[in-house]
């Protein structure tokens, strides 16, 4: 759909045919609705951001319709419009414009989109690669290459056997524990857990590092037992709820965000309760804890297949991208690395698409060589 139809809609100048086109478009998804609301807000305020939105739309269309084919902007034509709406209009830099950078300088590009993959380490140290197209089945667990599901049951043995699931950079995986707790694991993460939980004892797992989203089965379904998540000195005590824990190795903090239910955060001798919509942040060095209101949708966007960057400096954005696409980042221009952006992207697209959109704000030159991205 052409951008001018959106403006005509705002001015009530659509023809009957154009009105039908607009209505079909906006009813397709919440993404379109959000985009229209963004344009409407800028238009009513006569904001200069409307110019950026219009230019962004035009840049996307020019890339999509280019007959040269030198840059494959979107992998699928059907996804092109949605991703354009989803990402570009919301990435508006607050800095002054500089010299335009129309393309990404790509040298020997071998960067792949992240996918479902993990390594399962058994109690005896055996390592089992899990990836799409390969099945793995035993008496206690099964995998189709996209998820790992443990069979229900309580452990009557004196010794509990543990498995470890490791998600590499460029990967993600879905796990169902034996108590029916569901876990989504992000790139560069590792979780250690019992194959089956002991009867009448807390159900305890350990997020060694990385990020995980937990949908915990209620204690009422597990003989009243609590669910515990240990993470680098922190322990989350759960009765049955949904929450996100972030504790990447390079981060200086541990974040726990509660989506619904109630959890208690144990940090040494300190115990803090979280209510839905709030987030605890623990400084790994000082062990100080802070609790504040959280943007839950932004925090858990990764679980829903999205990158969501809210007032995030470019350096932090590149760190997030490096995990999913398994690339290295070299910051050459420190000033550009500090520029903040707002944007939402679908994770299932080529990295080159996202880099081009960021570069088109004219705040940084991005060059990829092999699996290294340079911010210049």
Residues 290, 307: one domain?
no
71-80, 159-168, 185-194: range with lowest mean pLDDT? 71-80
Residues 123, 11: one domain?
no
Domains held by the chain: number: 3
Look up residue 58 and give its two tokens. Answer: 């035009």
Q: Who has greater pLDDT, 77 or 176? A: 176
- 240-290: pLDDT as tens digits: 899 999 999 999 999 999 999 999 999 888 899 999 999 999 999 999 999
Domain final residue pick, 256, 277, 294: 294
- Is residue 121 included in any domain, yes or no? yes
**Taking a C-beta distance cutoff of 8 angstroms, is the pair 302, 280 a contact?**
no
Q: List the domain range (segments joined by +) for residue 281.
A: 115-294
Residues 283, 324: one domain?
no
Confidence check: pLDDT of 344 > 90: no
- Is residue 201 included in any domain, yes or no? yes
Domain final residue pick, 294, 322, 350: 294
Give this prediction's pTM.
0.74
Residues 277, 315: one domain?
no
- 82-118: pLDDT as tens digits: 333 444 333 333 333 333 444 555 555 678 999 999 9
Residues 121, 262: one domain?
yes
**Mean pLDDT, range 235-241, rounded to an integer:** 91
Question: Cβ neighbours of residue 50 under 8 Å, at least 6 residues apart?
Answer: 39, 42, 43
Residues 268, 123: one domain?
yes
| Torsion sign, CA atoms 309, 315, 320, 321 | positive
Question: Cβ neighbours of residue 93 under 8 Å, at least 6 residues apart?
Answer: 339, 341, 361, 362, 363
């Amino acid at each position: 759909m052409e951008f001018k139809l959106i403006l005509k809609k705002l001015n009530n100048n659509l023809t009957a045919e154009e009105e039908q086109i607009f209505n079909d478009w906006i009813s397709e998804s919440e993404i379109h609705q959000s985009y229209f609301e963004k344009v409407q807000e800028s238009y009513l305020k006569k904001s200069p951001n409307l110019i950026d939105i219009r230019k962004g739309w035009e840049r996307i269309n020019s890339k999509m319709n280019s007959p040269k084919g030198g840059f494959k902007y979107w992998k699928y034509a059907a996804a092109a419009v949605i991703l354009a709406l989803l990402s570009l209009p919301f990435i508006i830099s607050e800095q002054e414009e500089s010299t335009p950078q129309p393309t990404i300088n790509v040298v020997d590009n071998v960067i792949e989109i992240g996918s479902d993959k993990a390594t399962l380490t058994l109690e005896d140290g055996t390592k089992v690669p899990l990836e799409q197209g390969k099945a793995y089945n035993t008496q206690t667990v099964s995998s189709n290459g996209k998820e790992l599901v443990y069979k229900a049951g309580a452990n009557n043995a004196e010794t509990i056997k543990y498995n470890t699931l490791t998600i590499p950079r460029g990967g993600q995986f879905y796990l169902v524990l034996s108590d029916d707790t569901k876990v989504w694991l992000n790139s560069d993460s590792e979780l250690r857990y019992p194959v089956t939980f002991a009867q009448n004892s807390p159900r305890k797992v350990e997020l060694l590092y990385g990020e995980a989203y937990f949908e915990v089965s209620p204690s009422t379904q597990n003989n009243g037992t609590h669910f515990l998540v240990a993470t680098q000195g922190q322990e989350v005590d759960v009765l049955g709820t949904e929450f996100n824990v972030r504790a990447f190795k390079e981060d200086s903090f541990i974040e726990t965000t509660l989506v619904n239910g109630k959890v208690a955060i144990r940090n040494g001798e300190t115990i803090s309760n979280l209510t839905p919509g709030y987030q605890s942040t623990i400084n790994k060095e000082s062990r100080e804890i802070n609790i504040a209101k959280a943007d839950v949708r932004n925090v858990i966007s990764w679980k829903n297949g999205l990158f969501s960057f809210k007032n995030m400096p470019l350096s932090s954005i590149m760190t997030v991208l490096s995990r999913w696409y398994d690339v290295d980042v070299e910051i050459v221009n420190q000033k550009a690395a500090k520029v903040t952006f707002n944007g939402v992207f679908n994770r299932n697209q080529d990295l080159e698409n996202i880099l081009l959109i960021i570069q088109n704000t004219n705040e940084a030159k991005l060059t990829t060589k092999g699996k290294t991205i340079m911010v210049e």
